């Protein structure tokens, strides 16, 4: 039985002591001292100055002054929920030692945060944008975070470009306009200059960028990760979430009206569904590629702008996630949750995807400033249910009271200093991949193929989906002031498909290309395409 909240949920039980029950209506200071007044500060006489000695007034105002923390540098706006994940059976044990994926008797608590990418914390939900789909699994072996998006590819191939990309996507620095992701010059200038964005831009201009509900949205780990089985053997893996309600989108006109009427549309939908017992459900699936097939594809598995087509490698179901409980406090939980691609458990490991490698650096780094120092893993939402025993000490906001006089290894004095012992798969051990080479700034040749899979995407679309894509390109590109940028993007679109480029050009005042830049060998059978599920979205 996978439905409904779990009364024995270990994460829920762990959170209990942190919950503050305000049924006691007696007002106190932060020091627990009861006070008789909170409306009038202490003054000298009826018309005199306010006294510094009014510690309650000072504390109350000071605390308020410090209520805000930096919003996330990307994915600032989100909505979260707790739930659990349970595998269907143990078939994946052949490929991974991660027990939360292979023991059907285990129900692993999760926290999921859905988000938009570009907008600020207070921006509207229904903008044209990628959606984040980040899941924290509180496994018995420690936290595993699957920090994915609702699109299976990404804009860039190497994380070193991420600051440039985000600077181009965010509002322009001089006037902070426009807030919406796509309708502006800097994004399209970046796209024109960096054609590796083209596949993702096709997804972004499609109905996938306008999800009707977080309950009706796919999720993707995007990168090729690695599963490692108990014998230490690796297998490449792509992670997929499929919503049991199917994939559904809004149409553009709806998103515009809803953004005005109810900017919290997706957030409200998630909240109300859970409150009313309509628990959102998602199936986790995997595409597996044996290491012997590492070079069997005409793209590189380390290239995050490419999918593995499902007709080549089918998605195999692993288990189901159900979201059953809204957070008690948005700030404490949804705002303070910290996901990190490097939070892995035995049985799941990385690949050398240069985008993933940069992410493995970036998340911890940004959270050190966003959450005020090195102890944010002690914040209730972030705490693993697995015990935390190490020699990391002190720092801002230290909540643990470590016992004993030693905090180092190796140590002959005792005192409970934890030491690294044990063997894989009981403990995490980095996968023993053999690598060699010179220091270079170059990827394999297929990284340069920016168009083939964009064409595959276009070919898999139904007519009405194509109409929506063309309309989106016209709307967004049509707002770009620089004609040269519009023209350059049309040239890239001509590499994707001549008809697409011609139709877009006709709507944005630039000449259509005379002839195709590349041959397009026609629309693939939608039945064969993984992108076929997008048909549901109309
Ligand atoms: C935040 C996904 C690429 C840096 C996020 C979040 C998601 C996400 C879902 C929001 C997490 C939350 O809800 O708290 C992705 C995906 C990527 C990608 C799927 C590509 C496959 C990158 C890259 C970098 C990066 C390349 C940097 C090199 C960040 C940062 C945050 C973030 C700094 C804010 C984290 C925080 O403040 O806690 N990303 N991202 N991302 N991402 Fe990414």
Q: What is the pTM of this model?
A: 0.95
pLDDT for residue 189 is more than 90: yes
For 226, phi then psi, to 5°, come to: -135, 130
Measure 74 CA to ligand 1 centroid, in angstroms.
7
pLDDT for residue 538 is more than 80: no
Measured between alpha carbons, how far is residue 347 from residues 95, 234, 320, 342, 344 in Å? 8, 9, 19, 13, 8
354 lines ligand 1 (CB under 6 A): no
147 lines ligand 1 (CB under 6 A): yes
Active site (annotated) includes residue 149: yes
d(CA 129, CA 462): 21
- Over the stretch 206-263, which tens digit does the pLDDT of each residue have? 999 999 999 999 999 999 999 999 999 999 999 999 999 999 999 999 999 999 999 9
User: What's the pLDDT score for residue 182?
Assistant: 56
Active site (annotated) includes residue 450: no
Work out the mean pLDDT of the chain and round it to a whole number: 94
For 81, phi then psi, to 5°, come to: -160, 150
Catalytic residue chosen out of the listed positions 56, 75, 340, 450 = 75
Over residues 45-55, mean pLDDT:
97
User: What's the pLDDT score for residue 270?
Assistant: 98
For 325, phi then psi, to 5°, come to: -145, 130
Residues contacting 456, CB < 8 A, separation 6+: 309, 524, 529, 531
Is 21 buried (19+), middle (13-18) or exposed (0-12) by CB count in 10 A?
exposed
d(CA 289, CA 314): 10
Helix, coil or strand: residue 211:
strand
Sign of the C-alpha dihedral computed for residues 357, 74, 486 and 154 taken in this order = positive
284 lines ligand 1 (CB under 6 A): no
Over residues 159-180, mean pLDDT:
93
Over residues 525-530, mean pLDDT:
41
d(CA 233, CA 343): 20
Whose tokens are 């996938």? That residue is: 208
d(CA 404, CA 380): 24
Q: What is the ipTM of this complex?
A: 0.96
pLDDT for residue 152 is more than 50: yes
> What pLDDT band is residue 414 in, cutting at 50, 70 and 90?
confident
d(CA 97, CA 429): 12
pLDDT for residue 528 is more than 50: no
Q: Give bridge partners of residue 236 from the DSSP assignment.
A: 226, 289
If you take atom 30 of ligand 1, which residue's CA is the nearest one? 363
Structure tokens, 508? 């944005």
| Mutate-to-test residue for ligand 1 from 69, 70, 75, highest number of ligand atoms within 8 A of CB | 75
> What pLDDT band is residue 23 in, cutting at 50, 70 and 90?
confident
pLDDT for residue 183 is more than 70: no
pLDDT for residue 191 is more than 50: yes
d(CA 334, CA 318): 27
Measure 114 CA to ligand 1 centroid, in angstroms.
12
Measure 257 CA to ligand 1 centroid, in angstroms.
29
User: What's the pLDDT score for residue 514?
Assistant: 97
d(CA 125, CA 213): 10
User: What's the pLDDT score for residue 534?
Assistant: 37
Helix, coil or strand: residue 208:
helix
């Amino acid at each position: 039985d996978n439905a409904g909240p779990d009364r024995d949920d270990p994460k829920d039980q762990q959170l209990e002591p942190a919950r503050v029950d305000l049924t006691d209506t007696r007002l106190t200071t932060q020091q627990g001292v009861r006070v008789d007044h909170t409306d009038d500060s202490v003054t000298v006489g009826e018309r005199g100055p306010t006294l510094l000695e009014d510690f309650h007034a000072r504390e109350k105002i000071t605390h308020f002054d410090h209520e805000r923390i930096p919003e996330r540098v990307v994915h600032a706006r989100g909505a979260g929920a707790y739930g659990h994940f349970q595998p269907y059976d143990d078939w994946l044990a052949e490929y991974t030692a991660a027990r939360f994926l292979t023991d059907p008797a285990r129900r692993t608590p999760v926290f999921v945060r859905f988000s938009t990418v570009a907008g600020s914390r207070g921006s509207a939900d229904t903008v044209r944008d990628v959606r984040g789909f980040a899941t924290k699994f509180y496994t018995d072996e420690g936290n595993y975070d699957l920090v994915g998006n609702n699109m299976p590819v990404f804009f860039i191939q190497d994380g070193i470009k991420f600051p440039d990309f985000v600077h181009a996507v965010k509002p322009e620095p001089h006037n902070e306009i426009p807030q919406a992701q796509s309708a502006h010059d800097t994004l399209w200038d970046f796209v024109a200059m960096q054609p590796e964005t083209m596949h993702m831009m096709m997804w972004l201009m499609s109905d996938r960028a306008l999800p009707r509900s977080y309950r009706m949205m796919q999720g993707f780990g995007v990168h090729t990760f690695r599963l490692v089985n108990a014998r230490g053997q690796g297998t490449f893996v792509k992670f997929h979430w499929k919503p049991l309600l199917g994939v559904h989108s809004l149409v553009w006109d709806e998103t515009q009206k809803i953004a005005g009427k109810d900017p919290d549309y997706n957030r409200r939908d998630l909240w109300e569904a859970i409150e009313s017992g309509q628990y959102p459900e998602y199936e986790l699936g995997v595409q597996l590629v044996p290491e012997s097939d590492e070079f069997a594809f005409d793209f590189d598995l380390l290239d995050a702008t490419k999918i593995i087509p499902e007709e080549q490698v089918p998605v195999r179901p692993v288990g189901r996630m159900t979201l059953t409980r809204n957070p008690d406090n948005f700030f404490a939980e949804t705002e303070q949750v910290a996901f990190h691609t490097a939070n892995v458990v035995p049985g799941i490991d990385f690949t050398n995807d240069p985008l993933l490698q940069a992410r493995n650096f970036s998340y911890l780094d940004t959270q050190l400033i966003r959450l005020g120092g090195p102890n944010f893993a002690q914040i209730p939402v972030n705490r693993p249910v697995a015990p935390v025993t190490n020699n990391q000490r002190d720092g801002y906001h230290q909540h643990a009271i470590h016992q004993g006089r030693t905090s180092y290894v190796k140590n002959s004095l005792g005192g409970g200093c934890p030491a690294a012992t044990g063997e894989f798969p009981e403990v995490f051990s980095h996968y023993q991949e053999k690598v060699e080479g010179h220091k270079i700034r170059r990827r394999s040749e297929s990284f340069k193929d920016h168009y083939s899979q964009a064409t595959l995407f276009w070919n898999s679309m139904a007519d009405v989906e194509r109409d929506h894509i063309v309309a989106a390109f016209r709307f967004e590109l049509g707002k770009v002031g620089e004609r040269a940028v519009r023209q350059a993007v049309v040239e890239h679109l001509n590499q994707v498909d001549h008809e697409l480029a011609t139709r877009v050009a006709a709507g944005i005042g630039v000449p259509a290309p005379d002839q195709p830049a590349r041959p397009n060998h026609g629309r693939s059978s939608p039945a064969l395409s993984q992108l076929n599920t997008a048909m549901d979205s109309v």
